[in-house]
Amino acid sequence: MIPEYTPETFYAAVRLRNLEEDDYFEEVKRQFKQYLSELNKLHPDAELQLKQLRRNINQRREQMDFTPLEDLLHKGSLTEQEITTLQQFRVDIEEFLRIFQLIYQEEERLSGNRIAAEVTETYLKKLSAELEKAEDNTNKKAHIQKRIQAIKQRNPEKDDANRIIKAYLTQLYQSAYANTQNNHEVQLADDVSLAAATWIVYTMSRDGMGKAFTAQRFRNNDQYLARVGTLYDVAERMKGVQVTQVGALSFLKNQRYLYNSYVCFYLDPSYLEPKNGKKNLGETYKLSWGREDHELFLETIQNARARIVVSNYDNDLYNQYLKAPQWKKYEFETTTSVGGVAGNVRKEIIWKNF
């Protein structure tokens, strides 16, 4: 039975995809923060609640304060779909925290003493290093020695005690968090189920970004089912095609295709801001390149013998590396509906070395 075009179908697919391919809670946190940023643009009257929610999700300790979310839901300005999305994030976060709390308590019981001893020993070494640096400063040396002695006698000064406790809680949290990931009960999906979930995530999401469900992608469920029907043609066309999920730079560097004149690449990295190319416009996606990654990429393809086609916005970095006569440059006027702006005109550039 083919799942229907609904938020429930979308978020079930998101959970399956995330459990299989991502650090579960980090991915939920990333998507939640991104969605709150989008809501902030649409509902400036709720800015205080949205900021507090982002602050809470950043802390992600044993508990999370959902009071700002309750305040937000009672404002009455959110759409039904926005409410559904926020409530689903809450379910995912509470599921993780429920598991985390149990493992945190067990970690503290089994490893608390060991972690406390390690943290204290590390802090004492830090103070000993400060003692050596004090050199001839008698008063400073005496004060540090007094602090060291107090810690060894389990009666540290207030500031030292607070620092040790903070380090202890941080290390305990990190250990429990790692074990939560290892102990999270995941029903591993077969390849077909994972492929279907991935397709649903990007087909039903706004701008195809896999973050939030959109009711504007299809006019109705029949139109969605018609899109599903086209997958038979896609499967036929993709017979014999090898799909590789690996970082592009790793693929280019580890294969010999770059030096094969019979090979042609079309390379479409995340886009940089036009002109100076300092801002990474691909940050909204789960994976994208920073400026240094783009520069390494451009250096990698400089001496390639393969035929290469590269696309991006017109920017100084790409123009610095992809120069004539080796590279030819073409401009294209295009439109995009990204961000919900229909008919948004963009100028894209194609460079090629043949």
Contact 314, 274 (CB under 8 A): yes
Question: Distance (Å, rounded) from C-alpha 209 to C-alpha 205?
Answer: 6
Q: What is the pLDDT of residue 225?
A: 93
Number of domains in the chain: 2
Residue 193 CB neighbour total at 10 angstroms: 15
Of 193, 218, 242, the residue that ends a domain is 242
- pTM of the shown model: 0.53
Q: What are 102's two structure tokens? A: 């149990």
Of 202, 224, 242, the residue that ends a domain is 242
- Same domain? For 37 and 92 the reply is yes
Q: What is the pLDDT of residue 186?
A: 47
Q: What is the pLDDT of residue 148?
A: 93
Question: Distance (Å, rounded) from C-alpha 198 to C-alpha 184?
Answer: 21
Digit-coded pLDDT (tens) for 249-260: 878 877 788 889
- Same domain? For 258 and 273 the reply is yes
The answer to whether the Cα torsion of 196, 199, 202, 204 is positive or negative is: negative
- Same domain? For 269 and 203 the reply is no
- The model's confidence at residue 350, banded by pLDDT at 50, 70 and 90, is very high
Digit-coded pLDDT (tens) for 75-110: 788 888 888 888 888 888 887 777 777 778 888 888
Of the ranges 18-22, 44-48, 150-154, which one carries the lowest mean pLDDT score? Answer: 18-22
- Same domain? For 157 and 255 the reply is no
Residue-range definition of the domain harbouring residue 322: 244-352
Question: Distance (Å, rounded) from C-alpha 18 to C-alpha 12?
Answer: 10
